[in-house]
């Protein structure tokens, strides 16, 4: 079969879909993580990722272990959202485009993204076997049976194959699209080698400079997205794609491996303590606050990557309290 031709429009569409895909995972994973009733936490003091090595650690509980595994994936998905958005802007900001996060590109949770051929029901929910099966399906490593992408396609067998197609499109269109001297509207909140306090300092989330340097950075961005998640065929993440801090134990393992860990906890240890969805008098107000907070985040992302404002992630860091407030009021958070 003859390969389809990559065009600017096809690559623009694929990069927008990559941004959507990375954003789409975040509320799914956050909703599950904050459904856990970690001892010592509540709506006013949501769970945090804390080190729980050693069976005598006072912070250790099954719920804390599960939370660490799920929440640590969320943080890397925030990084992936940054990487995908920077990749979009590196090529298309000079042409007047920017990634969209609102309207038709606001995430929806009634199905998988239409360009990924995974036939599995999608809904927001607590940590239980059914929901962890969904989260693991999202991060399942690309099957070895997946063929090489045939140019731009409407539907891909897996997320891994989708990113292989983007890599192909970038390499085919790079020389015609990339403008070294343009404003590429790059943001760096999670990965910057210049700042030793960043979680990730072995690669840069920003893309710029001469064409050869920028293409190398674009390749590293793609490797980080797939290497930490669904592109990793083994449980261990390559050293250059994980934090240097050895205390970041969970971040040494792929997203799929972390979700499988929680699945094993449920299978062999029984249910984890989660908030019951019983409804309550404060549910409507709590959900309204969460809806307003998430809408604010989507607007901030869109304005930030359009260059209209600095990237303000304050509404993202406010989500934990808002999500736990809905759970503790007896509802399932909706986005």
From 239, 232, 226, 240, select the one nearest 257 (Cα to Cα): 232
Prediction pTM value: 0.93
From 269, 266, 270, 273, select the one nearest 42 (Cα to Cα): 273
* Bridge partner list, 156: 116
Q: Token pair 């908030």 is at which residue?
A: 275
Phi, psi at 194, each rounded to 5°: -75, -15
Cα within 13 Å of Cα(320), Cβ side: 17
Cα within 13 Å of Cα(197), Cβ side: 1
pLDDT in 10s for each residue of the chain, 335 residues: 446 899 999 999 999 999 999 999 999 999 999 999 999 999 999 999 988 876 677 778 999 999 999 999 999 999 999 999 999 999 999 999 999 999 999 999 999 999 999 989 999 999 999 999 999 999 998 877 777 788 999 999 989 899 999 999 999 999 999 999 999 999 988 766 665 566 676 778 999 999 999 999 999 999 999 989 876 766 878 887 777 676 777 888 999 999 999 999 999 999 999 999 998 889 999 999 999 999 999 999 999 999 988 888 899 999 999 999 999 999 999 99
pLDDT at 104: 96
pLDDT at 195: 58
pLDDT at 198: 63
Q: How far is CA 271 from CA 32, 186, 276, in A?
A: 14, 43, 13
Could you tell me how many residues make up the chain? 335
pLDDT at 1: 43
Continuous H helices in the chain: 8-33, 62-92, 129-138, 159-177, 211-228, 255-269, 283-306, 314-317, 319-328
**Beta-carbon contacts of residue 145 (< 8 Å; ≥ 6 apart):** none
As to burial, measured by CB atoms within 10 angstroms (0-12 exposed, 13-18 middle, 19+ buried), residue 303 is middle
């Amino acid at each position: 079969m003859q390969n389809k031709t990559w065009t600017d429009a096809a690559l623009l569409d694929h990069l927008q879909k990559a941004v959507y895909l990375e954003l789409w995972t975040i509320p799914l994973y956050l909703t599950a993580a904050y459904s856990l009733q970690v001892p010592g936490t509540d709506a006013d003091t949501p769970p945090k990722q804390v080190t729980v090595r050693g069976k005598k650690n006072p912070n250790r509980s099954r719920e804390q272990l599960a939370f660490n595994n799920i929440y640590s994936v969320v943080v890397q998905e925030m990084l992936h959202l940054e990487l995908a958005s920077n990749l979009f802007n590196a090529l298309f900001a000079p042409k007047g485009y920017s990634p969209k996060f609102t309207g038709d590109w606001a995430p929806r949770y009634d199905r998988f993204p239409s360009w990924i051929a995974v036939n599995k029901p999608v809904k927001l929910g607590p940590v239980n076997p059914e929901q962890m099966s969904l989260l693991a399906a999202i991060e399942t490593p690309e099957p070895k049976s997946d063929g090489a992408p045939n140019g731009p396609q409407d539907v891909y067998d897996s997320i891994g194959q989708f990113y292989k197609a983007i890599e192909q499109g970038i390499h085919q269109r790079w020389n015609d699209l990339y403008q070294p001297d343009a404003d590429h509207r790059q943001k760096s909140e999670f990965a910057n080698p210049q700042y030793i306090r960043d979680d990730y300092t072995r690669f840069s989330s920003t893309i710029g400079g001469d064409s050869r340097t920028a293409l190398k950075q674009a390749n590293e961005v793609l490797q980080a997205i797939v290497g930490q998640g669904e592109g990793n065929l083994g449980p261990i993440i390559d050293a250059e794609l994980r934090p240097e801090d050895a205390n970041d134990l969970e971040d040494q393992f792929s997203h799929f491996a972390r979700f499988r860990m929680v699945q094993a906890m449920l299978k062999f240890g029984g249910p984890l303590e989660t908030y019951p969805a019983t409804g309550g008098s404060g549910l409507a107000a709590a959900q309204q606050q969460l809806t307003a907070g998430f809408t604010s985040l989507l607007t901030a992302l869109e304005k930030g990557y359009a260059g209209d404002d600095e990237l303000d992630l304050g509404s993202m860091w406010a989500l934990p309290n808002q999500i736990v407030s809905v759970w503790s009021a007896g509802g399932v958070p909706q986005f």
